[in-house]
């Protein structure tokens, strides 16, 4: 009987990810600062794995998910998406600064 309980515990641990709680908290903060569009895309990533569907808790305040119960592959996809969005925002900001510099230099009245 104890062998079965030990096997069940071992299997449950394998389902969870190996990321630190600090790392997951930082990812969570970054996600919370994203737009609604990005939240929907993030949810699509999570829901793309059938086993994650039962982990989502939604109510009138929104959808809540405990990142610590997602597997490594799902977290990896989330991290990849967060990095993609960060790079995209950085590039867009750089282009906007460059555009403003051109406007100031060539079209300023002075």
Q: Say how far apart CA 68 and CA 52 lie, in whole Å.
A: 12
Q: What is the pLDDT of residues 10-33, one digit of tens each?
A: 434 445 789 999 999 999 999 999
Q: Which pLDDT does position 107 carry in this prediction?
A: 85
Neighbouring-strand partners of residue 57:
64
At residue 89's C-alpha, the angle toward residues 83 and 91, to 5°, is 100
* Alpha helices for the chain (secondary structure H): 2-15, 21-32, 36-47, 72-107
Please state the φ and ψ torsions of residue 57, each to the nearest 5 degrees.
Answer: -115, 115
Pairing between β-strand 62-64 and β-strand 57-59 as defined by DSSP bridges: antiparallel
Q: What is the pLDDT of residues 51-87, one digit of tens each?
A: 777 777 778 888 888 888 899 999 999 999 999 999 9
Whole-angstrom CA distances from 30 to 14, 52, 62, 83, 98 are 26, 21, 17, 10, 26
């Amino acid at each position: 009987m104890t062998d079965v309980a030990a096997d069940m515990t071992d299997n449950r641990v394998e389902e969870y990810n190996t990321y630190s709680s600090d790392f997951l908290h930082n990812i969570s903060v970054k996600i919370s600062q994203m737009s609604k569009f990005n939240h929907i895309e993030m949810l699509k990533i999570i829901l793309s794995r059938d086993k994650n569907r039962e982990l989502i808790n939604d109510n009138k305040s929104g959808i809540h998910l405990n990142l610590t119960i997602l597997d490594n592959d799902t977290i990896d996809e989330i991290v990849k998406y967060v990095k993609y969005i960060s790079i995209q925002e950085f590039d867009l900001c750089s282009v906007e600064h460059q555009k403003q510099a051109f406007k100031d230099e060539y079209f300023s009245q002075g």
